[in-house]
Amino acid sequence: MTTPGALDGVVVADFSRVLAGPYATMLLGDLGAEIIKVERPGAGDDTRQWGPPYTVDGTATYFTSVNRNKSSVAIDLGTPEGLDQARDLARRADVMVENFKPGTLSRMGLGYDDLASHNPGLIFCSISGFGSGEGKELPGYDLLVQAMGGLMSVTGPDPEHPTKVGVALVDVVTGLHAVYGILAALHHRTTTGQGQHVEVNLLSSLLSAMVNQSAAYVAGGVVPGILGNDHPSITPYSVYATADRPLVLAVGNDRQFRSLVTVLGIAGFADDARFATNPARVAHRDDVRLILESALSAHGADHWQRELTAAGVPCGPVNDIRGAFDLATSLDLSPVVTVPGTEVPQVANPLRMSATPPTYRSAPPAVGEHS
């Protein structure tokens, strides 16, 4: 018996490519929506060529990571026949997702106004780099937005070495924003019968996702800078050396700090005026590091994780990706799934739902496999 999906019956015309849009549509597909991916004949989505690494069947892992639970149709939008096919698909869809340069689809007769006149319930989601206004001509690449949007200015070892995050995080965050915008629009349509145009862009998504760092500027007039692995408002909340490998301490309050120094055998520092409160520790973060690392040097990271976790102090080693999956597996989180029709394992959807859980129905398609 097939498990019901929360979005069963919802048809999504996916005109997006690369990451933000395909990630969003895959998440919708995991919840039961029918995703029809529109690709260029022959070449398909750019990420099909983004390798190595490749899966055992020769597919780029980048493409595989965001394209399960989809069918693929090859449509040439440069021909009248292709445009007619695209219009037909969009007119019968519940949702259309696209990340063309703003204005491109309107010039083809595939813009929201063109399609909504025939399909008034259509939810049309546009994803761009810098919005559809003055920034519409700017190229929407994750690395550019990490730089221009300020993320690199608060990431890295020091101010001379601004550093990107090790994954296209802005694309992922934008895809998540697109999903909740689409779900909100579907709910609105359920109550009113009306579709709408949902717009989301990488820059605005990043500014929202930088939360306390953005608020430091907007609400406090402070321009945050690079602190390496330190936190601007909490100490100790960083990576610290031990006898063998680094250990992260994430001490969020004074009670946890007292437990930390007690386990380390330096309990007296909890009553030192320089360290008794979090604001005081932030002001003396360098002294905190010297004291803690001196004590931590007595044992390795695994020893301290056992002892500190037992005492209620948040901590953990810096794992590589293999270690992270091993950890999730040991915690019964089932981070890897098998998708029918392929021997290639996939990363599981993180949602757990008691009635309509995510499902894994089909492997990433070949270009035009379902045309």
CA neighbor of 225 nearest in space, from 235, 237, 213, 234: 213
Mean of the pLDDT values across residues 150-163?
96
What pTM was computed for the model?
0.93
Mean of the pLDDT values across residues 265-289?
97
Per-residue pLDDT at 263 exceeds 70: yes
Q: Report yes or no: 203 and 130 within 8 Å, Cβ to Cβ.
A: yes
Structure tokens at 55: 């899966």
**171 counts as catalytic:** yes
The type of residue at 293 is E
Angle at 140 between CA 135 and CA 146, to 5 degrees: 100
Helix (H) or strand (E) holding 197: strand 196-201
pLDDT tens for 332-345 read 999 999 998 888 99
- Beta-bridge mates of residue 346: 337
pLDDT band at residue 71 using 50, 70 and 90 as cut-offs: very high
Per-residue pLDDT at 254 exceeds 70: yes
Exactly one of 30, 142, 171, 230 is catalytic; which is it?
171
Which domains, and CATH codes, for the chain?
A: 11-209+335-347 (3.40.50.10540), 237-323 (3.30.1540.10)
Q: So what's the pLDDT on residue 57?
A: 86
Angle at 27 between CA 22 and CA 30, to 5 degrees: 125
Mean of the pLDDT values across residues 29-53?
96
Q: So what's the pLDDT on residue 370?
A: 93
The type of residue at 110 is L
- Write down the mean pLDDT value for the chain: 96
Q: What percent of the chain has pLDDT over 70?
A: 99
pLDDT band at residue 1 using 50, 70 and 90 as cut-offs: low
Alpha carbon distance 174, 30 (integer Å) = 18
Per-residue pLDDT at 168 exceeds 70: yes
